[in-house]
Structure 1
Amino acid sequence: MIKFGYTILYVEDVEEALAFYENAFGFSRKFISTDNDYGELITGETTLSFASKKLASQNLKEGFIESSLEDKPFAIEIGFIVENVPEVLQKATSFGALMVAEPVEKPWGQVVAYVRDLNGFLIEICTEVKM
């Protein structure tokens, strides 16, 4: 059996990233290493984690493409399911998230909006898909 355990975002400042997600989305801190190079948030079944770019460089000797607000977002997003998209969107932007796309209702009834976090990662804020 395979279980999807976590997604790790490589950031310059792990403490800053944790604080942003705690404040903007209300997640709770699960863990941060004593050297502040790695941290985790309680986000439900799957953990959202952050590793410093320094730590990532130690693990990936040939390097990686860094996320940046100056560049277009990667072809990947993290999605947060919420009941009230405009409310969560307003809170996230008040803590520094950059608006990408205002809420839109999709043909299947889901409301979807997009922001980027302080490190440029793309976040979908959406209602649950009703089947």
Structure 2
Amino acid sequence: MSTTKFATAVVYTDDVPRSVEFYVRATGIEPSLYDRDLGFALLGTDQSVAIASHAAGALMLADGYDTMKSAQVRGAELAFWAADVSAAFQRALDAGALALTPPRLMPWGQTVAYVQAPEGTIVGFLTPVAA
């Protein structure tokens, strides 16, 4: 049995206030911690999503941190459960996201939709897969 477990996914951005505002507007999940001086926020009571400035990234990772070179989509995604995927998708667009995939039903019964957040992260909204 592993002694480690998932803690948080971190989105690094040039504009922490804008990103925090986007994720709050798009998901309704408020920060449980927000250090505006450092540029670091943890969203929700479970703190499973963090928003961090590049300066905070450099502080945490020291010499191992390399800032993003562009705002292009990365090989990562933040996915959020949504009872109403269409409404979540529209809320994200209204908050400033770019539409990637409008809501659609997958062959295994799950409804999914994807946007690109202003800082470039892929954000998914999904229903649970039926048991």
Output the CA distance in 2 between the equivalents of 1:57 and 1:107. 42
Normalising by structure 1, what TM-score?
0.87
Normalising by structure 2, what TM-score?
0.87
Percent identity over the alignment is 27
Q: Which runs of 5+ in 1 are unaligned?
A: none
Hey, what does 2:99 align to over in structure 1?
A: 99
Hey, what does 2:58 align to over in structure 1?
A: 57
Deviations 1:92-130 (A, max 9, x none): 101101100111211110011110111010011111111
Q: How many residues align?
A: 128
- Indicate conservation of the 8 Å contact 2:9/2:50, yes or no: yes
Q: Which runs of 5+ in 2 are unaligned?
A: none
RMSD across aligned C-alpha pairs, in angstroms?
1.8
Q: Map 1:16-95 to 2 at 5 A.
A: 16-42=18-44, 45=46, 47-58=48-59, 59-64=61-66, 66=68, 68-69=70-71, 71=72, 73-95=73-95
- Indicate conservation of the 8 Å contact 1:67/1:119, yes or no: no
Structure 1 stretches of at least 4 aligned residues deviating more than 4 Å after TM superposition: none
Output the CA distance in 2 between the equivalents of 1:17 and 1:84. 23
What secondary structure sits across from 1:32 in the alignment? strand
